[in-house]
Amino acid sequence: MNHWTRRDFLKTSGAGLASLTSLNIADSFAQGSSSERIRHAVIGTGGQGSGHCRSFAKLKNCEVAAVCDLDPSRRDKAAASLPNASQVKKYDDFRRLLEDKSIDTVSIATCDHWHTPIALAAILAGKHVYVEKPCSHNVHESRLLVKAARRYKICVQHGTQRRSSGEAMAAVQALREGIIGKVLAGKAINHQLRKPIGRAPVSHSPEGVNYDFWLGPAPAHAFTNNRWHYNWHWFWDYGCGDLGNDGIHQVDVARWGLGVDYPKAVVCSGGQLFYDDDHETPDTQTIIYEYEKCHLIYEMRLFTPYALESHDNGNVFYGTEGKLEIGRKGAVVTLKDGAVKKIEGPAENNMENFLAAVRANDPSRLNARIDLGSISADLCHLGNLGTRLGGQRLEYDPVSGKVTRCGGREAEANALLTRHYRAGYELAYRG
Ligand SMILES: NC(=O)c1ccc[n+]([C@@H]2O[C@H](COP(=O)([O-])OP(=O)(O)OC[C@H]3O[C@@H](n4cnc5c(N)ncnc54)[C@H](O)[C@@H]3O)[C@@H](O)[C@H]2O)c1
């Protein structure tokens, strides 16, 4: 994509993330054509990141030119899986990758506690960003991410890929057209069996891994196998529980279908009824997001196999004339007279949609724009926050970015809207 204009970058040399603030911001991409080849990089090549490698490599006029992971075995495996394996650049430090001017776009599929720090650094380096869900680890990070994307006119796509699903797009359109009348409630359902993880003793971190860098902005903690690959999801320092993991997909669709953003109040309940192990995050949660004209209800039970209650992970919208269900079997309307209708529509590919927006230099073309995705992430953060504070009804003001009511625990709630960043791992952009 040589003729896309960019300013030169200044070299970074400092060890801390904050050093990336010294980068010049790339000019916006000049309007490109769909035939231009995009050089993409994947940061975090675990379960999802290796999927990103496969998916981006398959897209037309896109090559995965670089991969980055703090675990060299995962990084090398991902690189070797690519059609251009011998040319793929391999990094263990994303800051060095971001200095590479030949890279146009990056996707971030690391643990959640690294999403925003890396995304902000990438934006400052002029790279367009596909960031996995949840885009942030807390509400403060969501706000910064949206602000930075807007300020530097960077395309930031959120990994809530249901926004590109054919049936979800068609179902939302049908809801807008009144297929089930006035829609007064929407459920976001996350029912599945997530097995206990046991208790893992402190042990040595794997050979060749810079575990301190993996911890990054999170508090220092001795290595255990449960705080490592995948199971980090269940520790508040790195993950957002299953509400921020799988639940965010359903919360996002519910919010989209209901046509709402921030609620006037969030009623939280949940805890551990099933786990007796290293998990910090709940296995059971019911969160009600109260809006002026409707309710969004999140139900999570991680001890029940898929489809036990005929719904697994999915959504139900309840209207005055019927209900609309979206699940893994598609989207189905049942009207109050018993008539049943399947809803279908043409699917898009969330990653392809990202590249199209980048080529057009037009963030408004993104199906899962960061300003939309960040609100869904915030709903998850607020739900978790109220659950962690013992089950609260809280009110959050999106203008001031503050919790205004939380059963007398406002100071604790506001503290959980952000986190302490370890020295050397402060955010590169602070608004
Ligand atoms: N959109 C979806 O449907 C979907 C599906 C699965 C996972 N995800 C998201 O993808 C992300 C990754 O999930 P996963 O299941 O692949 O986890 P994982 O633990 O398997 O992989 C994370 C990888 O990131 C690497 N990593 C961590 N910090 C890094 C850093 N600073 N620099 C470079 N590499 C770093 C780890 O070494 C690891 O290999 C999560 O945020 C998850 O929510 C999204």
Question: pLDDT tens, 393-430?
Answer: 999 999 999 999 999 999 999 999 999 999 999 999 99
What does the pLDDT look like over 83-116, one tens digit per residue? 999 999 999 999 999 999 999 999 999 999 999 9
Ligand 1, atom nearest to 94 Cα:
32
| Angstrom distance (rounded) from CA 262 to CA 397 | 8
247 lines ligand 1 (CB under 6 A): no
**What's the gap in Å between 108 CA and the centre of ligand 1?**
8
pLDDT band at 8 (very low <50, low <70, confident <90, very high): very low
Question: What residue owns the CA closest to ligand 1's atom 39?
Answer: 46
**What's the gap in Å between 112 CA and the centre of ligand 1?**
7
Q: Which residues pair with 62 in a beta bridge?
A: 38
Give the residue-averaged pLDDT of 318-334: 94
Whether residue 218 has pLDDT greater than 70: yes
Residues 6+ apart with CB under 8 A from 32: 1, 4, 358, 359, 360, 361
> Residue 110 burial (CB < 10 Å; 0-12/13-18/19+)?
buried
Ligand 1, atom nearest to 48 Cα:
16
What does the pLDDT look like over 148-176, one tens digit per residue? 999 999 999 999 999 999 999 999 999 99
Helix (H, G, I), strand (E, B) or coil at 218: coil
Whether residue 127 has pLDDT greater than 80: yes
Q: Which residues pair with 326 in a beta bridge?
A: 315, 331
Give the residue-averaged pLDDT of 5-28: 35
C-alpha torsion 367→368→372→376, nearest 10: 140
* Domain assignments of the chain as residue spans, ordered by start: 17-162+352-369, 167-198+212-346+377-415
| Angstrom distance (rounded) from CA 168 to CA 112 | 25
50 lines ligand 1 (CB under 6 A): no
Contact 156, 149 (CB under 8 A): yes
Ligand 1, atom nearest to 228 Cα:
19
Least confident of 28-32, 69-73, 316-320, 338-342: 28-32
245 lines ligand 1 (CB under 6 A): yes
Half-sphere exposure of 392 (CA within 13 A, CB side): 22
53 lines ligand 1 (CB under 6 A): no
110 lines ligand 1 (CB under 6 A): yes
Does 196 sit behind a cis peptide bond, omega within 30 degrees of 0 on the bond before it? no
Ligand 1, atom nearest to 118 Cα:
31
Class of the domain covering 17-162+352-369: alpha beta
**CA angle, residues 341, 342, 344, in degrees to nearest 5:** 140
Which of 48, 54, 114, 232 has most ligand 1 atoms within 8 Å of its beta carbon, as the pocket-test mutant?
A: 48
Whether residue 195 has pLDDT greater than 80: yes
Whether residue 258 has pLDDT greater than 60: yes
pTM of the model: 0.94
Question: What residue owns the CA closest to ligand 1's atom 15?
Answer: 47
Q: Which residue reads 């994303």 in tokens? A: 94
49 lines ligand 1 (CB under 6 A): yes
74 lines ligand 1 (CB under 6 A): yes
Question: What residue owns the CA closest to ligand 1's atom 25?
Answer: 44
Q: Does CATH place domain 167-198+212-346+377-415 in 3.30.360.10?
A: yes
Half-sphere exposure of 391 (CA within 13 A, CB side): 8
**What's the gap in Å between 176 CA and the centre of ligand 1?**
35
**What's the gap in Å between 39 CA and the centre of ligand 1?**
21
Token output for 212 = 């301190």
Ligand 1, atom nearest to 216 Cα:
31
Helix (H, G, I), strand (E, B) or coil at 172: helix
**What's the gap in Å between 51 CA and the centre of ligand 1?**
10
Contact 368, 195 (CB under 8 A): no
351 lines ligand 1 (CB under 6 A): no
Which of 20, 68, 69 has most ligand 1 atoms within 8 Å of its beta carbon, as the pocket-test mutant?
A: 69
263 lines ligand 1 (CB under 6 A): no
**What's the gap in Å between 216 CA and the centre of ligand 1?**
14
Contact 137, 416 (CB under 8 A): no
